[in-house]
Chain A
Amino acid sequence: MPFAVVLILLVVGSILFHILSPWTFTELASNWAMVDFTVDITLWVTGVVFVAVNLFMAYCVIKFRHKKGARSTYEPENKKLETWLTGLTAVGVAAMLTPGLVVWDQFVSVPEEAHVVEAVGQQWHWTFRYPGKDGKLGEVDNERISSQNPFGIDPEDPNGQDDIVVYSPEAHIPLDRPVKFLLRSKDVLHDFAVAQFRVKMDLVPGMDTFLWLTPTKAGRFEILCEELCGIGHHTMRGAVIVDEQQDFDNWLARQSTFSEHMATPEGNAAIGAAQYGICAACHGQQGEGIVAMNAPKIAGMPDWYLKRQIKNYKRGLRGVHADDKFGQQMVGMVATLVDDTAIDNVTAHIATFPDKPPETTIDGDLAHGKKLYAVCAYCHGGDGMGNEALNAPRIAGMSDWYIARQLSNFKEGVRGAHPGDYYGFQMGLMGQSLHDEQAVNNIVAYINTL
């Protein structure tokens, strides 16, 4: 009898939970309402069977409970009953299958008017490419990828010259227009998944895959990689931003094309030298860094990293947190660099400085630091020299006190908290695995030995 009561309570509890549950579908933002419908149908079919089978069992436990002298009947088979049950199950299964097949048919048939956006995955970033005015994407090849040409676009292919390349993990698409995402991977398997759109697909190196949808709501929707792609898998975030057509056109016009990107002029170090004067007050004449001024060494730091950080300060992505007082000072200083040309010039000048090792200021447990560094080495390299392909700056031979402070800042959310600081955000996620100040000191002490 208690068994029957438990069964009945379980059924009642399940139904009540379903009705009162705080868990609901993520809000839908695409045309794929049909996907939700198939989930609902499955829930209804299995739910009805669940309730029926359990209540039947509770009924039997009560009805046929032990009674003195009662004997069971021998009935090894019952063809009619078995046939009926098989038939009913087949009907239930067909009810679940049919909408699934219909929606899959729609999913594999991309509407002809869909515009194309290429999403490229790599460990652990997203980038995007739009066909330019000619509406055609240029040929690509993973073997052609370099730091100058991160997409591996064929420079000889006329179709590729006007391709719009977006070196950030944020893609914009216009509202209410069907879009086909072409998916491509540079290295390992990834998966393009946006919960609000309901559809997802793997990125497979060596081949192109696709998915399509029509966005029905404006807003910013997070892209999650949903195929394990290595140690930084959880930091591989991006966003699809759905705009009104006008906003989308404006945004697209601001992006640079492949040929513009390849033609970017080198900075002029001589002009940069004059502008560097204001930097020298804190960072030193040779970019060697001055501890007393809280200014780190910048000589020997790759220019792509310096440029990005200067731009982050200028755009309000860095140095805006109330606790980041040195960062706030830097915001004021970078204002003197009026445009991208100025930034290119000054970083070209910094590149001419001799790379002398700074004084070390931090000691720690090297063995422990080495163990912790194993995770850092995935991006920053075993030698700590960084890797542009992974957006990981050099950390060996730089100011150790500065690295320690930045690690704490990342961990505390003082740096990398702004959603526009994509790579800082990633470092914030990785920095979480450092447990305390001692761990930070040990790891920095080990980096000093590299």
Chain B
Amino acid sequence: MSYVAIADRDHEQEHHDPQTFITKYIWSQDHKVIAVQYGITAIFVGLIALCLSAMMRLQLGFPDEFTFINPENYYQFITMHGMIMVIYLLTALFLGGFGNYLIPLMCGSRDMVFPYLNMLSYWVYLLSVIILIISFFVPGGSTGAGWTLYPPQAIMQGTPGIDLGIILMLVSLAVFIVAFTMGGLNYVTTVLQARCKGMTLMRMPLSVWGIFTATVLGLLAFPALLVSAIMMLLDKTLLTSFFMPAISSMGADPGYTGGSPILFQHLFWFFGHPEVYIVALPAFGIVSDLLSTHARKNIFGYRMMVWAIIAIGGLSFVVWAHHMYVSGMNPYFGFFFATTTLIIAVPTAIKVYNWRFGKAIFTCVSRCCFPSALFSRLFMAG
């Protein structure tokens, strides 16, 4: 008997037909509804972060004019703005939102392979957002340690929100990672196992390639953040010394000894640099598809584009310490990370060239094309 793709085995498929309003729109297992839920929640927290950035600009534009911005608030705005934008908005919107919506539709599968897990993923994500928002209202306010949360400063005197603020931030991150792992396993399994007949890997739309690779990166990178969040929680609450050396804080000895702040930075950026591509690769993929659709041309160099995505994904794990050249790490690491960092520029440049060539030979310029054309222009200029 010849192989029948899972998506084509109609009789075996479980259908998730919605029964009532609640199962249709709230406790829904339908990937499209979950995608919209993810999207709305992500955009909602994004709007909060937008307000925070407006506050930062008010302070920069009119220093000390506004009574509701003091030095404490300013650092809190910076921290929460950065954290929300990178993790709670971008990661959730591209993977939870676009990923959920597009993967089954573009791969031709009925739904995600684990619909219940998918639903759970959203609700756990929502929980992490709620914990994050609560941290604005606890005594001392949210953490103001900067979005990188570098210890010792993130949990020591002298920084805003070192009580409940930082604890809730770390708990929220851990919960977010649980949510992401549930969603991520789903996206990867669906792409690998539930494509329709004829949808070979080398025929998948670049959007799906971007989302798929980003998810693999996420599954490998987020655990580093999870352990660093848990270790810092222990340092804060149980006075362990994973990241805390012997210090004299404001003339007093807080009792830590022997830990390494650099260890946190390595863990953070081992997550943090792939995170750049977790956010960027889905956008690269979507831009590729939008450009080719509206230019009414096929993608130029499709196979090269796929390999570029994979190369970027792989290389993104060996460049993390370029965020740490002057962090005090062993200076000889600098040679290695400078080299890998510039090597990753090659596949990225290839993607940009191919967008240019794809677009170059216009048959017509569509208005819709403009935002993505603008993206590829801005990215290139950047």
Contact = CB atoms under 8 A, between A and B. Distances in A.
Contacts of A430: 71
A204 B346 contact: no
A105 B253 CA distance: 38
Interface residues of B, number: 71
A78 interface: yes
B153 A189 contact: yes
A228 B67 CA distance: 23
A390 B365 CA distance: 63
Contact of B250 (A77, A187, A433): A187
Interface string A95-120: 01100110011011000000000000
A76 B202 CA distance: 14
A76 B300 contact: yes
A60 B75 contact: no
A403 interface: no
B298 A76 contact: yes
Interface string A79-90: 001100110011
A66 interface: yes
B145 A72 contact: no
Contacts of A191: 326
Contact of B247 (A56, A60, A86, A205): A205
Contacts of B6: none
Contacts of A433: 64, 70-71
A145 B248 contact: yes
Interface string B352-382: 1100110111111100000000000000110
Interface size on A, as a range, is 35 or more
Contacts of A204: 261-262, 327-328
Contacts of A203: 328
B165 to A, nearest CB: 13
B259 A206 contact: yes
Contacts, number: 208
Contacts of A206: 245-247, 258-261
A73 interface: yes
Contact of A89 (B246, B252, B339, B345): B345
A231 B72 contact: yes
B123 interface: no
A143 interface: yes
A91 to B, nearest CB: 10
Given A187-B248, A206-B260, A89 B349 contact: yes
Contacts of A147: 251
B338 interface: yes
B144 interface: yes
Interface of B is mostly: loop
A70 interface: yes
A159 interface: no
Interface in A178-205: 183, 185-189, 191, 200-205
Interface stretch (B155-163, B189-197, B213-221, B225-233): B155-163
Contacts of B334: 104, 108
A152 to B, nearest CB: 7
Nearest to A59: B360
Given A61-B362, A76-B302, A86-B346, A188 B338 contact: no
Contacts of A82: 301, 304, 350
A23 interface: no
B248 A142 contact: yes
A209 interface: yes
Nearest to B304: A82
A89 B342 CA distance: 10
A387 B308 CA distance: 57
B328 A202 contact: yes
A404 interface: no
Interface string A122-140: 1110000000000000000
Contact of A207 (B245, B357, B363): B245
A214 to B, nearest CB: 18
Contacts of B64: 432-433, 435
A64 B245 CA distance: 64
B343 interface: yes
A188 to B, nearest CB: 4
Interface in A123-181: 123-124, 141-143, 145, 147, 152
Contact of B346 (A74, A75, A93, A101): A93
A265 to B, nearest CB: 24
A71 B63 CA distance: 58
Given A78-B301, A97-B338, A435-B64, A228 B261 contact: no
B250 A123 contact: yes
B249 interface: yes
B248 A188 contact: no
Contact of B326 (A66, A94, A201, A388): A201
Contacts of B299: 76
A185 B261 CA distance: 12
B338 A72 contact: no
Contact of A200 (B75, B326, B365): B326
Contact of A64 (B250, B302, B361, B381): B361
Given A50-B381, A66-B362, A93-B345, A143 B253 contact: yes
Contacts of A353: none
Interface string A375-389: 100100000000111
Interface in B305-338: 326-328, 331-332, 334-335, 338
Interface string B249-291: 1111100011111100000000000000000000000000000
Given A202-B328, A206-B260, A231-B144, A57 B346 contact: no
B153 A230 contact: yes
Given A104-B338, A389-B250, A123 B361 contact: no
28 contacts: A50-B380, A57-B359, A60-B359, A66-B365, A75-B300, A76-B298, A78-B300, A85-B353, A86-B350, A89-B350, A96-B342, A101-B338, A142-B247, A142-B248, A143-B253, A143-B257, A187-B156, A187-B158, A188-B158, A202-B327, A204-B261, A205-B152, A205-B246, A206-B259, A228-B150, A231-B144, A433-B71, A435-B65
Q: Which are the 7 A-B pairs with shortest beta-carbon distances? A: A206-B245, A389-B251, A230-B158, A188-B153, A60-B360, A209-B328, A145-B248
Given A72-B363, A96-B342, 15 more contacts: A50-B380, A53-B352, A78-B301, A89-B349, A101-B339, A104-B331, A104-B335, A123-B249, A143-B248, A147-B251, A205-B247, A229-B158, A230-B157, A231-B71, A232-B158
